Amino acid sequence: MYKVLIVGAGNIASEYDDATSTVFLTHAHAFVNHPHFELIGFVDPDIIKGINASSKWGTRHFTNLDQAFKYYSNIDIVCIAVPDDLHFNVLQQVANYRPKLVFTEKPLTNTLEQAHIIERLYRELHIPVLINFKRAFIPEILDVINSVKRNDFGEFKNCYGFYNRGFKHNASHLLDLIIRFTGCKELKLMNVIDSISDFSIDDPSHSFVASTDNNAVVVIKSFSGESYPIFELDLHYSSGRIRLFNTGEKLEIYRVQPSSAFSGVNFLQPKDCIDTSLHQSMLHAANNIFEYLSMGKPLRVPIADGIEVMKLTEQVLKDIKNKSCLN
Ligand SMILES: NC(=O)c1ccc[n+]([C@@H]2O[C@H](COP(=O)([O-])OP(=O)(O)OC[C@H]3O[C@@H](n4cnc5c(N)ncnc54)[C@H](O)[C@@H]3O)[C@@H](O)[C@H]2O)c1
């Protein structure tokens, strides 16, 4: 059994579900349920959060990392589920204890510079890092990405993404998916639509239009998360369309086919609507960790993927800032 410690005892660590849920939305639920892991505790300086989580999941509460690693010297996996701006510090602290693997929440860090520091540190210590871009663990989504890579959908033409509640916080998920679905790792900013602070003033939600190397157009639009959370991606290719909606619970597949009404005219026709196992994402991630450690299978979201997202994030933010200065 691999011993797991969760740092942070809030929503995604403990609170979004419970042991009776059929969904796996928390780190705790996945590791408590998995036969090859033992959840040995939570670290949280907030005593109430820590006690609530540890009693809910039948484990221990520690107020800091030192306490946890003094109690158990052989902790294999550390999950990091603290607020975004603490990822960098906590990743640095956790490395001192040399676990076998670190599973960290997104975004990897606040800046690309910090991400490079973490990447170097963990590479030198030979500690693998897995990042929780949850849609990259979902078999139904991966199947469609593989189909795109086999060129089943033809050439990428354009995409429209909706998100809210922070560019780094949530659009990082969109950027990760755009890289996976298109292979495009750079964007050229064409227009800024607007920017709103619906998550934090340090991480506004930007809306913009950009283009790729192949002149495909990428439109990313946000609107206030106060109305409702949104996460959608609509990708058009020369011979089909992929629409991911309901935050990724559903995938619609369209193919270009001859119209039944207009002779000689091709239309996009809906072909398939897939219910994904998005809400089992934590279980898929735990399985990926188990298969990596025990069978040497690849990590689905290694640190290199997190760095690519950080590069794209900083590039877009820099271009938005430059464009705003010009206007
Ligand atoms: N991958 C996803 O789909 C997804 C979904 C939700 C949240 N997240 C990410 O998970 C992280 C946590 O989000 P949340 O909504 O659970 O936040 P939260 O505020 O509910 O919980 C964070 C917890 O961390 C604790 N904490 C603060 N400083 C700490 C420290 N130094 N050591 C240990 N614990 C500390 C807080 O007391 C709190 O209990 C964020 O980075 C967020 O972006 C990811």
Residue 232 forms beta bridges with which residues? 162
Please say if the pLDDT value at position 326 is more than 70.
Answer: no
Distance 49 CA to ligand 1 centre (A): 11
Classify residue 305: in a domain, yes or no.
Answer: no
Model pLDDT, residue 226: 84
Statement to judge: residues 272 and 145 lie in one domain: yes
Statement to judge: residues 104 and 125 lie in one domain: yes
Query: Which residue lies with its CA nearest to atom 19 of ligand 1?
Result: 10
Model pLDDT, residue 327: 63
Which residues' Cβ are closer than 6 Å to ligand 1?
7-13, 43-46, 49, 81-84, 86, 90, 105-106, 132, 134, 169
Distance 14 CA to ligand 1 centre (A): 10
Model pLDDT, residue 315: 96
22 Cβ contact list (under 8 Å, min separation 6): none
pLDDT in tens, 169-192: 999 999 999 999 999 999 999 999
The CATH number for 116's domain is: 3.40.50.720
Classify residue 301: in a domain, yes or no.
Answer: no
Percentage, residues of the chain above pLDDT 90: 95
Statement to judge: residues 162 and 109 lie in one domain: no
Q: How many domains does the chain have?
A: 2
Using alpha carbons, select from 248, 250, 13 the residue that is nearest to residue 136: 248
The SS3 call for residue 196 is: strand
Residue 245 to residue 254: CA distance in whole angstroms: 14
Measured over the CA atoms of residue 165, residue 168, residue 279 and residue 162, the dihedral's sign is positive
Statement to judge: residues 37 and 165 lie in one domain: no
Statement to judge: residues 112 and 232 lie in one domain: no
Classify residue 302: in a domain, yes or no.
Answer: no
Classify residue 89: in a domain, yes or no.
Answer: yes
For residue 327, how many other CB atoms are within 10 A of its CB? 5
Classify residue 303: in a domain, yes or no.
Answer: no
Query: Which atom of ligand 1 lies nearest, measured to the CA of 169?
Result: 43
Quote the longest CA-to-CA distance of the chain.
74
pLDDT in tens, 254-299: 999 999 899 999 999 999 999 999 999 999 999 999 999 999 999 9
Query: Which atom of ligand 1 lies nearest, measured to the CA of 13?
Result: 16
Range of the domain at 76: 2-135+282-296
Instruction: Quote the mean pLDDT of the chain.
Output: 96
Model pLDDT, residue 227: 85
More confident residue, 101 or 199: 101
Model pLDDT, residue 323: 81
b vs e for 211-242, b when ≥16 Cβ sit within 10 Å of the residue's Cβ?
A: bbeeebebbbbbbebeeeebbbbbbbbebbbb
pLDDT in tens, 49-65: 999 999 999 999 999 99
